[in-house]
Amino acid sequence: MIRVMLADDQAMVRGALGALLSLEKDIEVVAEVGDGRAVLEEAPRCLPDVVVMDVDMPELDGLEATACLRKSLPQVKILIVTTYGRPGFLRRAVTSGAHGFMVKDAPSAELADSVRRVHSGLRVVDPMLAADSLVFGESPLTPRETEVLQAATDGATVIEIAKRVHLSEGTARNYFSHIMAKTGADTRAAAVNLAIERGWIVG
């Protein structure tokens, strides 16, 4: 029996994933949690074989939780299941130590199969995402540039963005000049859209 923990901040999604996996005779859902910190607290108690992990969660996101869990319970396999089917997230998931990466709009039958494959020691990666990951390569942005661009995803003004990331307006403008040069974008909005599309920031 494969012991599975579900980690997703949306209760309806957790319930749906749990219902799907509960139909399988060789899979048992032993815990359901709603954020990354809860994963780290609950995993040592229930000792799952596989954690099915979302990326965008409060407290600690799924990629950070994956990295921490790999250190504390290295025997646990982690399958990232997310709406963020973008190459940047795939690279970050693999770097964090995840054993598999699939998107939530994949056919439901693939979920149980992916859990089994990850449990058996195989890697599970969407082939189209893997190809895109090779094409797009690593993010050219520094961590600070990524933070500044992330603060611009809601269309805020430079003044508002500067306040959010604790910079002067002039320094924020300089960051955007560097970001646009690195991404080849003509505007802040275009840089944001490109970075979201490639998984460098969350939209």
| Token code pair at residue 63 | 């990629």
Mean predicted confidence (pLDDT) in 55-71:
91
pTM of the entire structure? Answer: 0.68
108-146 in b/e form (b: 16+ CB < 10 A) is eeebbebbbbbbeeeebbbeebeebbeebeebebeeebe
Q: Which of 170, 133, 165 is nearest to 149 (CA)?
A: 165
Q: How confident is the model at residue 200 (pLDDT cuts 50, 70, 90)?
A: confident
84-101 in b/e form (b: 16+ CB < 10 A) is bbbbbbbbbbbebbbbbb
Asked whether the CA dihedral 39, 68, 84, 159 is positive or negative, the reply is positive
Question: Domains plus CATH for the chain?
Answer: 2-135 (3.40.50.2300), 143-197 (1.10.10.10)
For 11-41, how does the pLDDT look when each residue is reduced to its tens digit (9 = 90+)? 999 999 999 999 999 999 999 999 999 999 9
- Residue % of the chain over a pLDDT of 90: 63
